[in-house]
Amino acid sequence: MPVDTQITINVDGETTTVATGTTGAELFFERRDVVVARVNGVLTDLDSPLEEGAAVEPVTLDSPDGLNVLRHSTAHVMAQAVQQLRPDAKLGIGPYITDGFYFDFDVAEPFTPEDLKTLEKMMQKIINQNQKFARRVVSEDEAREAMANEPYKLELLGKKSDADTAGEGVNVEVGAGDITIYANIDRKSGEEVWCDLCRGPHLPNTKLISNAFALTRSSAAYWLGNQKNQQLQRIYGTAWPTKDALKAYQERIAEAERRDHRKLGVELDLFSFPDELGSGLPVFHPKGGIIRKEMEDYSRKRHVEAGYEFVYTPHITKANLYEVSGHLDWYRDGMFPPMHVDAEIGEDGEVRKPGQDYYLKPMNCPMHNLIFRSRGRSYRELPLRLFEFGSVYRYEKSGVIHGLTRVRGMTQDDAHIYCTKEQMKDELTNTLNFVLSLLKDYGLNDFYLELSTKDPEKFVGSDDVWEEATATLAEVATASGLELVADPGGAAFYGPKISVQAKDALGRTWQMSTIQLDFNLPERFELEYQAADGTRQRPVMIHRALFGSVERFMGVLTEHYAGAFPAWLSPVQVVAIPVAEAFNDYMFDVVAQLKKEGIRAEVDVSSDRFPKKIRTASKDKVPFVLIAGGDDADAKAVSFRFRDGSQDNGVPVEEAVARIVEAVRNRTA
């Protein structure tokens, strides 16, 4: 029979005919920026032959998928270098991650900073050799033979059938489909110089990595992310299409380090984490307390205007409350262990009255349900919007605690809205608009939305209820005009949610407010209201946290503003600096006028020289500095210095006070 010598494929939406056996590399040979192809929706190595009817798209090095392939390929080069440096090193897993990659190794000694420098030089030699990444499909027996000296890879082969749930990064190596090994081939000899069990795809060759990579740090890690497993050593790195892109990334990281809220918290005397209190339990110092109070007071004001009512609930409760809500079934690992109290034991040792377990509350919603249920409710009271700055406690694992952004004790600005089904859509829309408006008032303006849907393994209630709730949230989110991103399986056990994702000054994304629609907790707590027709109906419940937690939000704002908070939030809004001691009293009079208007102002009467006082105010990131000497005092004026170093001279005191008051009250500086 004759063999067809041509096949028909679709390239970027256009049908074309090519020779049988044509590869992606041949198809895109004029495109030096194409590093892999997307074939029928699947990323595929360029040297793979295309099949009849394939839909093919080029993937460039600077695209998100191209960057992931670049970084995963760089991880392989790093692992090759590690095994050259330490031949006894055993390979763990090496996936790409946001902005980079890592690889885990079982080694006798941890890696040092000097090791990382040595490895970078070794990697560059490998890259310059222009080694080819070659994929081969193998049987399990062949894979075990190739990986005979790699115990962790052999373990992964045993997890192939459940790779997606077996542990951190397993599906990078094995999963559905063929077992594949990627070898690095020396261009001159054609010999295999290194290989790894991997699903790929990879770059065509190492030369494409160029010299736009860096190893950033090393740390301890656990095999498959499980602390019960062997401890390994992890090396992190980054890779970019060009040296300029790498440099820009490194500058962003350096700026992020300068903005680290933990560092600024110390420098600006805002908060601390005393060892005596325990991990993840911050304390706020007076200056940090001012920022927090201003944040909370403004939020309270806006909530009053929006029709919320304030409630207060205790920090602990009997276990039964969280049995009813379902938290003990679904959230127990995130709760602190119970306190067993109230037992009465007689002199003979007999238990007269059994004790009860009490839990520190991880959420406020069950207690708010009790408030709703405390008396009969009418449809005329709905929507009922309950709001609380409620302290909650969550047992975060020590490895994930991070400054203010991941703590064990926090204050949630928590609201629960009870409404009818007819009110549900409008209430969700109003809530989302309220949330976005308030976040903008704190200086965040770049948002997108994420819709978290049901986890099939972790939910309560019927599928129909979940479908209705999810569809309603999706409709409200879409109507906002913001980008909507799917988060499959990311919902809490009781309902789907919209999360507001906000970008900070460095372009980093933070999850801020969440809005969850819940038909299930009203059912579990048997909440009812009397409808207009006299029947008893279940309310719909909307969970809404605006900041997420006050602590986390303050950490985010500290980094967003690099500690230079807008004037209305700044602990000290004005520092008055006399050019000489003779003008102290004059500046005290100016400050008195500011304080009368509610401005946080102080006079620097320290023994420091005048230039040092200016530098101190700048270091403390004070929004406004007023300066006065003899000419100013005679003219009843001041020099008005701004945070950026610019200065207006000879400003009348009355005008200076008015400027500052307007900037603070209108949140314009």
**Which amino acids are annotated as binding site for Zn(2+), given as ranges?**
365, 416, 543
Residue 429 and residue 479 in contact, taking contact as beta carbons nearer than 8 Å:
yes
**Catalytic (active site) residue 243:** no
Rounded to 5, what percent of the chain is helix, strand, coil? Answer: 35, 30, 35
Residue 397: what residue type?
Answer: K
Catalytic residue among 394, 406, 552, 641: 394
Is position 394 annotated as part of the catalytic site?
yes
Residue 77 phi/psi, 5° resolution? -60, -40
Alpha carbons 524 and 538: distance in angstroms, whole number: 11
Count of CB atoms situated within 10 Å of the CB of 596: 10
Binding residues: 365, 416, 543
- For 60, list phi and psi in degrees, rounded to 5: -90, 160
What does the alpha-carbon distance between residue 221 and residue 569 come to, in Å, rounded to a whole number? 40
- What Å distances lie between residue 103 and 94, 196, 303, CA to CA? 4, 12, 48
3-state SS track over 413-464:
EEEEEEECHHHHHHHHHHHHHHHHHHHHHCCCCEEEEEEECCCCCCCCCCHH
Cα 167 from Cα 224, distance rounded (Å): 5
* Distance (Å, whole) CA 70 – CA 135: 16
Other CB atoms within 10 A of residue 445 CB: 10
Out of 416, 560, 613, 621, the active site residue is 416
Other residues' Cβ atoms within 10 Å of the Cβ of residue 295: 20
Does the annotation count 365 as an active-site position?
A: yes
Q: Using the Cα atoms of residue 564, residue 568, residue 572 and residue 575 in order, give the sign of their dihedral.
A: positive
Question: How many Cα atoms occupy the beta-carbon half-sphere of 485 within 13 Å?
Answer: 11
d(Cα 285, Cα 270) in Å, to the nearest integer? 5
Question: What tokens does 417 get?
Answer: 């809205």
Type of residue at 356: Q
Determine the length of the chain.
Answer: 669
Q: Give the integer Cα–Cα distance in Å for 79 and 206.
A: 13
Instruction: Mention every residue, 6+ apart, whose C-beta is less than 8 A from residue 560.
Output: 259, 443, 444, 504, 505
Q: Which residues contact 371 (CB under 8 A, 6 or more apart)?
A: 311, 313, 386
* Active-site annotation holder among 202, 497, 560, 621: 497
Quick one: 2 exposed, middle or buried, by C-beta within 10 A (0-12, 13-18, 19+)? Answer: exposed
- Catalytic annotation on 132? no
Which position among 543, 560, 613, 621 bears the catalytic label?
543
Structure letter (DSSP) for residue 486? E
Q: Where do the H-state alpha helices sit in 210-281?
A: 243-259, 261-267
- Phi, psi angle pair for 38, to nearest 5°: -100, 110
- Is 414 a residue of the active site? yes
Q: Give me the catalytic one of 414, 504, 518, 632.
A: 414
Catalytic residue among 195, 198, 365, 419: 365
Q: Is 400 helix (H, G, I), strand (E, B) or coil?
A: helix
CB burial class (10 A; 0-12, 13-18, 19+) of residue 31? exposed
- Three-state DSSP state, 152: helix
Q: Which residues partner with 238 through β-bridges?
A: 214
Q: How far apart are CA 572 and CA 578, in angstroms?
A: 17
Cα-based angle 146, 149, 150 (whole degrees, multiple of 5): 90
| Greatest alpha-carbon span in the chain | 108
Helices then strands (H, E): number in the chain? Answer: 20, 35
Q: Give me the active site residues, please.
A: 365, 394, 412, 414, 416, 497, 543
